[in-house]
Amino acid sequence: MTGGGDLLLDSVGPLVRGAVTGTIPLTVLSFAAGLVLALVVALMRLSRRRALAWTARAYVSLVRGTPLLVQLFIIFYALPSLGIVIDPFPSAVIAFSINVGGYASEAIRAAILAVPRGQWEAAQTVGMGYRLTMRRVVLPQALRVAVPSLSNTFISLVKDTSLASTIMVTEMLRKAQEIAAPTYAFLELYSLAAVIYWLICLVLSAAQGRLEKRLARYVLA
């Protein structure tokens, strides 16, 4: 038992480093890229051009209708058959970004639709065009409304990054696997990894709550 306790204590550092150098950067980069993609897709979905709207609709349907793990495997394991070879970490970023884009686009689209029509009309009254109205009037309000959904997507992404271990990305779960393999302490190491994931999500949930409270007064106003 003492040996098991020592193993856990010795493993905290490597797992935390795996989170700091792997899990967190992977989450942040994927979410940032996915958010940009989501905005583009949301605007395409709202476009009056049917080709753009249907392309965006098909993309969202495909992303939401297929497992994230399958998307990850296609990018890392299947694309090389077409001569497209991507390293593990960039493959994970691409897969997670595409996945985030599909889910977050619907949150952004719904938030844009939630902006009162009067805001559009007021902007047009003062001579603003579509792009300027969208950039200065609609999107700032829509993004405030979308914060809860986007925050939940971000928190979910933290946990989803554990799938990157299946393509040899050195993140926290991969570190736990490497330490557990020679010691056979799978239960202890995976439980420790689960606790660290949980703590990260608790911190993010607390930050989400504070951000929502801060933005609430602007939304209500």
Annotated domain spans of the chain: 2-220
- Determine the pLDDT at residue 220: 45
Per-residue buried b or exposed e for 90-104, using 16+ beta carbons within 10 Å of the residue's own CB: ebbbbbbbbbbbbbb
Q: What is the pLDDT of residues 161-198, one digit of tens each?
A: 999 999 999 899 999 999 999 989 999 999 999 999 99
pTM of the predicted structure, to 2 decimals = 0.88
Which class does domain 2-220 fall in?
A: mainly alpha
Torsional sign, CA 119, 125, 128, 129: positive
Q: State the pLDDT confidence band at 221, using cuts at 50, 70 and 90.
A: very low
**C-alpha span between 16 and 22 (Å, rounded):** 10
SS3 of 216, please? helix
